[in-house]
Chain A
Amino acid sequence: MKVTIDGFPIEVEAGTSILNAARLIGGDIVPPAMCYYSKLEGSGGKCRTCLVQVTKGSEKDPRPMPKLVASCRTTVMDGMEVKNITSPEVIEARKGVVEMLLINHPLDCPVCDQAGECHLQDLGYEHGAAKTRYEFDRRTFEKIDIGDKIQLHMTRCILCYRCVFTADQITDHRIHGILNRGDHSEISTYIQKAVDNDFSGNVIDVCPVGALTDKTFRFKNRVWFTKPVEAHRECENPKCCGKVTLWYKGEDVIRVTARKDEYGEAEEFICNTCRFDKKKTSDWVIEGPRKVSHKSVISSNHYDTLKPLPVVKTNPVLMEANKEQFERETRL
């Protein structure tokens, strides 16, 4: 099937969603996704950030679709033409959705453990307005401990339902879900029963915001001060792959997570033993540094930033100024 997204044509298999087709093309034209998670069946369609415009339905039926569609849940048709960043309507709608997502968000990034790897933060940076038009009290909830390792901070939640799907599909017994309705709905475990399951820790990885955080890492460090390293171990749990990312601060492993791809999705889920209990270098076989996108704030801290930027290299005046500044700074 041939589909064209923002002018880029690509051949994909029947049944692929527009979002996945865009991911195959890659680059700027990939719609952001807050709730869709390719490893979780049934996820997506809720956050509405991935809205796109279909300007041509298919080769057989060239009519455009009347409304913007959620690209994560719309399958491609042969000859479909899709507009994402080239459509002003899409940009406008996405801006609206981001604004809606943020009106009840506490914006406590300075104290949030997710900051630096938060999808909502990226989304707000890219599409959000600098000022809010919302002049009312934001919705708040009490923090809830889900077991001794996970904390739920419902105030930050955007109700993407990813953790609910994870609990449904990865773990054996689902014991949490959505309570209530509308903007007072919340993720909960009924009588605050502990989530006790080998794979429950994965809800932390799938959470796009800082609503579910790892209590063993909470307030230990900012993610951009830590160094990600790929490692593996022979895990006793037959369902666990044992392939993880270790996050180092100096010589200490302060956090273990699953390996995440460029869209923030875990490549393979890991068990709680790997995640919470194995925090010594000797527990792991180190493979090497984890590649982090140069756009990510995580890579901004510690590699070769003192080298002059490419634009400086071609301009003699800037080169001179840069040298001066470099000398001044190193003297200090």
Chain B
Amino acid sequence: MARKLLLEHINVPGINTFDVYRSKGGYAAVEKALKTLTPDEVVEEVKKSGLRGRGGAGFPTGMKWSFLAKPEGVARYLVCNADESEPGTFKDRYLMTHIPHLLIEGMIVASFALGAKTSYIYVRGEMMPQIRILEKAIAEAKAKGFLGKNILGTGYDLELYVQPGGGAYICGEETALLESLEGKRGNPRIKPPFPAIAGLYGCPTVVNNVESIAAVVPIINEGGDEYAKLGIGRSTGTKLISAGGNLRKPGVYEIDLGLPVEEFLYSDEYCGGIANGKRLKAVVAGGSSVPILPANLFLKTINNEARLMSYESLADGGFVSGTMMGSGGFIAYDEDQCIVRNTWNFARFYHHESCGQCSPCREGTGWMEKVLHRLEYGHGKMSDMDLLVDVSKKIEGNTICPLGDAAAWPVASAIRHFRDEFEWHVTHPHEATTRNFGIAHYADPLPKLEEAAG
């Protein structure tokens, strides 16, 4: 069984309280960082660990921290992005519900490293219980002297606030989050300037995902080099995967990056295979915005190598035959699921959540949703598939923030890999409303690559 770093004590009763958390070795990272390390050394440890942002983009966290501008006399901020709203992702909510002090501890260490005197946790508005849990945890930590003025007698001051959002998906985009935190309409800002130069209230700001901040705790406790030994290649450490869909054992799992996907899917330690003895048809590997893959391409890369749960291996093959790690929202579809309906559902979500600021995303998401709705309900045309691909191309890359890309990728990839099913919806409109296309050839072994002609 692989070692757990974040969820090690998740089953200890009362781990959500300060005393139990402390007795299990909690807040050791705060003591170590504040008493024995300088802020630069903390940043250096995180850099050595190779930790990559767990929110979706996978940008190295240490590098992000070192980009932070440090002008004299200007406040710096750390903002924790807990606006987790990607369909399929629920790992941050799990972490905050069950082990809130891990996040608080990570926030203290990270704020110390960045020299922030005030830090915010921006939590999605629907997560009211988690907001209460975090506020209680902050009050506990403050009572024990881990927050507030002169923490542990080291002279470092930190105030930590929880800010509920309004529940908009777009506020998970870092600049929209900052706008929302400032009390404005949550529209993404036009970059540059990046938040590291001018973020919250125009001051240098770092925005990190909940899991990235929590991962700082084991990195400081054990040292960056130890952390980097876990995982594979440039994907170091452990990652929380929120597995959902037609699995026997859905839930949040902490895996070492580099675990073969087959093991993750079928071993009893993790998902335990597909529910009700059905076969796997397709997988969305990292939350709704990453490209969807059919079972055969998901288990094996195009070169017939086993796919691993790591940033690189999942992206192997680029957009043609690969996908992305994303935020770790793993969704499995069994043979009875309709890909067209699923794609429509995703498109509907992005249509609803587009902020409406830039035209390709505002108009294009709605257009795609309408075309997919037509296909799903049996009024589609053969030309619709090409239209959808074209519209998604017109959106992708031409928008202010990545929401446009996130809306375009699932549609483009679904048509790329499941075109037969879309066409079947056009040719058999009546059947399509009463039964599903089934698994077809989506789980067949991949054809052998052609040998280079000798």
Residues of A within 8 A of B (CB): 44-49, 51, 67-68, 70, 73, 93, 96-97, 99-101, 103-104, 133-134, 136, 158-159, 161, 177-178, 180-185
Q: Is the CB of B365 within 8 A of A93?
A: no
The answer, yes or no, to whether B387 is at the interface (CB within 8 Å) is yes
Complex CA distance for A190 and B200, rounded to whole angstroms = 28
- Residue-wise interface mask of B (71-111) relative to A, using a CB-CB cutoff of 8 A (1 in contact, 0 not): 00000000000000000000000000000000000000000
Measured CB to CB, the closest approach of chain B to A128, in angstroms, equals 13
A and B contact pairs by CB, cutoff 8 A, 23 listed: A47-B358, A47-B359, A48-B399, A68-B398, A93-B398, A96-B393, A96-B398, A100-B367, A103-B363, A104-B363, A178-B356, A181-B352, A181-B354, A181-B355, A182-B351, A182-B353, A182-B354, A183-B351, A183-B354, A183-B356, A183-B362, A183-B363, A185-B356
User: Which B residues lie within 8 Å of A184 (CB)?
Assistant: 356
Q: B397 within 8 Å of A by Cβ?
A: yes
Q: Assess whether B26 is interfacial by the CB under 8 Å rule.
A: no
B127-171 near A? 1/0 per residue, CB < 8 Å: 000000000000000000000000000000000000000001010
Within 8 Å of chain A (Cβ to Cβ): is B430? no
Beta-carbon contact of B168 and A48 below 8 Å: no
The reply to whether the CB of B357 lies closer than 8 angstroms to some CB of chain A is yes
CB B314 to nearest CB in A, in angstroms, measures 21
Given contacts A181-B353, A183-B366, contact A97 B397 (CB under 8 A): no
Contact present for A182 and B397 (CB under 8 Å): no
What is the total of A-B residue contacts with beta carbons within 8 Å?
A: 90
Q: Is B24 an interface residue (CB 8 A)?
A: no
Q: Are B394 and A93 in contact, CB atoms less than 8 angstroms apart?
A: yes
Q: Is B400 an interface residue (CB 8 A)?
A: yes
Contact, CB under 8 Å: B362 / A159: yes
Residue of A nearest to B352 (CB): A182
Interface residues of B in 311-362 (CB under 8 A from A): 351-360, 362
Q: Which of B363, B393, B398, B399 contacts A101 (CB 8 A)?
A: B363
Q: What is the CB-to-nearest-CB distance from A31 to chain B, in angstroms, rounded to a whole number?
A: 13
Q: Which residues from chain B contact A97 at a C-beta distance below 8 Å? A: 359-360, 394, 398
From B362, B363, B365, B366, residue with most partner A Cβ within 10 Å? B363
Kindly state whether residue B185 has any CB partner on chain A within 8 Å: yes
B170, B359, B365: the one contacting A48 at CB < 8 Å is B359
- Which of B352, B353, B356, B364 meets A100, CB within 8 Å? B364
Contacts of A177 in B (CB 8 A): 185
Structural contact, A46 and B387, CB atoms closer than 8 A: no
The CA of A99 and the CA of B387, in the complex, are separated in Å by 13
Per-residue CB contact flags for chain B residues 375-400 toward chain A (1 = under 8 Å, else 0) read 00000000000010000011101111
Chain B residues lying within 8 Å of A48, measured Cβ to Cβ, are: 358-360, 398-399
Whether a CB of chain A sits under 8 angstroms from the CB of B10 is no
Known contacts being A46-B358, A97-B360, A100-B359, is A182 close to B366, with CB within 8 Å?
yes
Smallest CB gap from A160: residue in B: B359
Cβ of B370 within 8 Å of any chain A Cβ, yes or no, is: yes
Question: Complex: how many Å from CA A98 to CA B399?
Answer: 14
Contacts of A45 in B (CB 8 A): 190, 358, 400
**In the bound complex, CA of A181 to CA of B355 (Å):** 5
Q: Which residues of A contact B352 (CB under 8 A)?
A: 181-182
A67, B397: Cβ atoms closer than 8 Å:
yes
Q: Is the CB of B394 within 8 A of A96?
A: yes
- Distance in angstroms from B349 CB to nearest chain A CB is 11
CB pair B168 A101 closer than 8 Å:
no
* CB <8 Å contact, A158 and B359: yes
Interface residues on chain B, number (Cβ under 8 Å): 29
What residues of chain A lie closer than 8 Å to B359, measured between beta carbons? 46-49, 97, 100-101, 158-159
Bound CA–CA A280/B387 (angstroms): 54
In the complex, A104 Cα to B394 Cα: how many Å? Answer: 16
Closest approach, in angstroms, between the C-beta of B221 and any C-beta of chain A? 37
Contact between chains at B400 and A100 (CB < 8 Å): no
A49 to B394, CA, bound (A): 12
User: What residues of chain B lie closer than 8 Å to A44, measured between beta carbons?
Assistant: 190
CA distance A24 to B81 in the complex (A): 42
Q: Are A182 and B367 CB-contacts (below 8 A) given A45-B190, A48-B399, A93-B398?
A: no
- Indicate with 1 or 0, residue by residue over B3-19, a CB within 8 angstroms of chain A CB atoms: 00000000000000000
**Distance between B384 CB and nearest chain A CB, rounded to angstroms:** 10
Residue in chain A with minimal CB distance to B370: A136
Interface pair B355/A182, CB less than 8 Å apart: yes
Q: Which residues of B contact A100 (CB under 8 A)?
A: 359-360, 362-364, 367, 394
User: Of A46, A49, A68, A183, which contacts B365 at CB under 8 A?
Assistant: A183
Contact status B366-A70, CB under 8 Å: no
Decide: A133 near B400, CB < 8 A? Known: A100-B360, A104-B363, A182-B365. Answer: no
Asked whether B360 lies within 8 Å of A46 as measured between CB atoms, the reply is no
**Quick one: closest A residue to B366, CB to CB?**
A183
Q: Which of A46, A101, A158, A159 contacts B400 (CB 8 A)?
A: A46
CA A156 – CA B352 in complex, angstroms?
A: 21
Instruction: Enumerate chain B residues within 8 angstroms of A101, measured Cβ to Cβ.
Output: 359, 363
Shortest C-beta distance, A138 to chain B (Å), equals: 11
Report the Cα distance A158→B363, complex, angstroms. 10
Q: How far is the CB of A103 from chain B (nearest CB, A)?
A: 5
Nearest-CB residue, chain A, relative to B350: A182
The docked-state distance in angstroms from the alpha carbon of A143 to that of B309 is 54
Contact residues in A for B400 (Cβ distance below 8 Å) = 45-46, 70
A89 to chain B minimum Cβ distance, whole angstroms, is 10
A51 touching B353 in the complex, CB below 8 Å, given contacts A100-B363, A103-B363, A183-B366: no
Please give, as numbers and ranges, the residues of chain A lying within 8 Å of B387 by CB-CB distance. 133
Q: Which of B357, B397, B400 has the most CB of A within 10 A?
A: B357
**B398 surroundings in chain A (CB, below 8 A):** 48, 51, 67-68, 93, 96-97
- Determine the distance from Cα of A101 to Cα of B364 in the docked complex, in whole angstroms: 9
Q: Which residues of A contact B168 (CB under 8 A)?
A: 181
Given the complex, which residues of A lie within 8 Å of B356, measured CB to CB? 159, 178, 180-185
Q: How far is the CA of A67 from the CA of B360 in the complex (A)?
A: 15
CB contacts (< 8 Å) of A73 on chain B: these are 190
A134 proximity list for chain B (CB < 8 A): 367
The residue on B at minimum CB distance from A98 is B359
Name B158-189 residues within 8 Å CB distance of A: 168, 170, 185
Given contact pairs A70-B190, A134-B367, A183-B362, a sample of 11 additional A-B residue pairs in the complex whose CB atoms are under 8 Å apart? A45-B190, A49-B359, A96-B360, A96-B395, A96-B398, A133-B387, A181-B352, A181-B353, A181-B355, A182-B352, A183-B354
The answer for the CA separation of A103 and B190 in the assembled complex, in Å, is 25
Closest CB in chain B relative to A241 CB, distance in Å = 31
Interface centre among A178, A181, A185 (most CB of B within 10 A): A181
